Amino acid sequence: MTNKYLTIHNDIVQQIETGEIKPNSLLPSENELKDRYNTSRETIRKALNLLSQNGYIQKVRGKGSIVIKGAKLNFPVSGLVSFKELADKMGEKPITIVHELELWKPDEYIRQQLNLSNKDTVWKISRIREFGGEKIILDKDYLNTKIVPHITKEICESSIFYYLEHELNLSISFAKKEIVIEEPTEEDRALLDLEGFHNVVNIKNYVYLEDATLFQYTESRHRPDKFRFVDFARRNPL
Amino acid sequence: MTNKYLTIHNDIVQQIETGEIKPNSLLPSENELKDRYNTSRETIRKALNLLSQNGYIQKVRGKGSIVIKGAKLNFPVSGLVSFKELADKMGEKPITIVHELELWKPDEYIRQQLNLSNKDTVWKISRIREFGGEKIILDKDYLNTKIVPHITKEICESSIFYYLEHELNLSISFAKKEIVIEEPTEEDRALLDLEGFHNVVNIKNYVYLEDATLFQYTESRHRPDKFRFVDFARRNPL
DNA sequence: CAAACAAACATGTATATACAAGTTGTTTGA
DNA sequence: TCAAACAACTTGTATATACATGTTTGTTTG
């Protein structure tokens, strides 16, 4: 018993992804969809606007809604997706090694990133992601202990996101991310199979809850040859 | 005489950016805004949803709309923004050197990227961006001549985007982008001040018009130390 | 035969109403 | 005193209607 417009959205997404609706063709008009789904035009429009935001269709006034070619076949690394969800989608079978898991008194840098006081503590988690025998990614997470009091090695091995959302019932709602290229640290060299690469890609993630409180800072350090970021962007009307 | 909801959106954006409305505070309720702006609640909701999409506010059911801290101070390299617009925002004063501008019979790779036939031609443009005396970025553009018949060196020196939108009246509407790390090519080494860096950041851009036709492919090759990508992402409800 | 016009149809904006559902503070009752 | 119930807020969803504006197509008109 979920929303109507989300149901319609998902239905159309499925039709696009299975090829039932062809790229570069027009979707049925809003009025026709309204009749088909037995609903009002506004509800249809909500569904279509979602499709537009997600890069599935392009709405053109006076014409209709064009299905964008290759929509989401190139899955986005953009958006807010956990490593596990991502790996699942790609069909890869990575191994996660929990290298470090401790209650930690944050240093100045992490205190700043998470807006913490001197008394606060964080969970410091460091995990290595291995693909096909190669250690490719080093994930370093810092979680505010006021929001996440307990965590175990087992959770870190499967999915922290899943634990937060389904066990602690925290609703993660948005993130700011920053991508920069850096020289490998000693730690990077020690833990990753860098094979002579001179840089790592550092994806810094600031993760927020539904009430806009910052609770997690993550650095995801990738070997440059295995890094790929795909994004869909609309031009904002000024 | 533009839209109401866009006007309201922009008005609130301004209040947030000038600090008139403080971060982590609540916006007035939708009903109050409705009265203030003398409009209907739905119109207010459209404005607020735009603010939410753009990372300015976080809406919480039952509570209200929280103003997100640091909204857009960290300007996004994400989104679909031209180099000139970006440089303007940052207050940098870059120099653009047009290194190459020619009508070109595309090779296999570019034909594939732009979905062209063997007979089509493209504008091949290669520009170097210089900051503070250092050649940092190499932009390589390929434009479908069927859509852009003419272009001049002067245009390339100022802003291609501006020319397309304001002179040719093309409406650029969305882009797919991909970011990867590559080894510098001979060309990169010759044209950029790489100073011993072993990689370049390659931002591939596929730019589409309003009617969903692909008309431009761009590679923006950055020196890694000067590269920074900032993004705002919402978690999609499954 | 071509240009002008009109009709039909597409999406965009604005408004109104009703109810659902989550949050918060207050009142009520045991 | 304390907890449950309630009232008064908040945002979310669904529907209906009207008109604006852009596109296409066919028809009329000169």
Q: What is the pLDDT of residue B58?
A: 93
Q: Please give the average per-residue pLDDT across A112-119, as a whole number.
A: 90
In B, which residues are within 8 Å of A227 by CB distance?
179-181
What pLDDT is attached to residue B131?
84
**Chain A 17-56, residues with CB within 8 Å of chain B CB atoms:** 24, 53-55
A237 to chain B, closest Cα gap in Å: 9
Q: Give me the CATH topology for the region A83-226.
A: Chorismate lyase (3.40.1410)
**C-beta within 7 A of nucleic chain D, residues 46-65 of A:** 46, 60-63
Q: Of A136, A128, A101, A114, which Cα lies nearest the Cα of A205?
A: A114
For A60-71, the pLDDT digits (tens) are 999 999 999 876
Q: How far apart are CA B214 and CA A68, in angstroms?
A: 10
pLDDT confidence tier of residue B47, bands split at 50, 70 and 90: very high
* Residue A90 pLDDT grade (very low, low, confident, very high; cuts 50, 70, 90): low
* CATH 3.40.50.1000, applies to A4-67: no
Identify the pLDDT of residue A89.
60
Give residue-wise pLDDT tens across range A11-61.
999 999 999 999 999 999 999 999 999 999 999 999 999 999 999 999 999
pLDDT value, residue A88: 63
Q: How far is CA B161 from CA A58, A197, B83, B170, in A?
A: 20, 36, 9, 9
* pLDDT for the residue A94: 83
- Tell me the CA distances in angstroms from A65 to A5, A11, A23, B152, B177, one per residue in order: 16, 16, 11, 34, 22
Q: Residue B166: what pLDDT? A: 83
| C-alpha–C-alpha distance, residues A204 and B229, integer Å | 10
Question: Which are the contacts of B17, defined by CB distance < 8 A and separation ≥ 6?
Answer: B71, B72
How many CA atoms does the CB half-sphere of B177 hold within 13 Å?
24
Confidence of residue B62 (pLDDT cuts 50, 70, 90): very high
DSSP string, B159-197: -HHHIIIIIS---EEEEEEEEEEEPPPHHHHHHS--TT-
Q: How much of chain B is helix, strand and coil, in % rounded to 5?
A: 30, 30, 35
Lowest mean pLDDT of A173-187, B42-56, B71-85, name the range: B71-85
Whether the pLDDT of residue B81 is over 90: the answer is no
pLDDT attached to residue A14: 95
Q: Does A134 touch chain B (CB under 8 A)?
A: no
Contact B40, A193 (CB under 8 A): no
**Quick one: pLDDT at residue B226?**
85
Confidence of residue A111 (pLDDT cuts 50, 70, 90): very high
**Locate tokens 């047009």: which residue?**
B98
Extents of the domains making up chain A: 4-67, 83-226
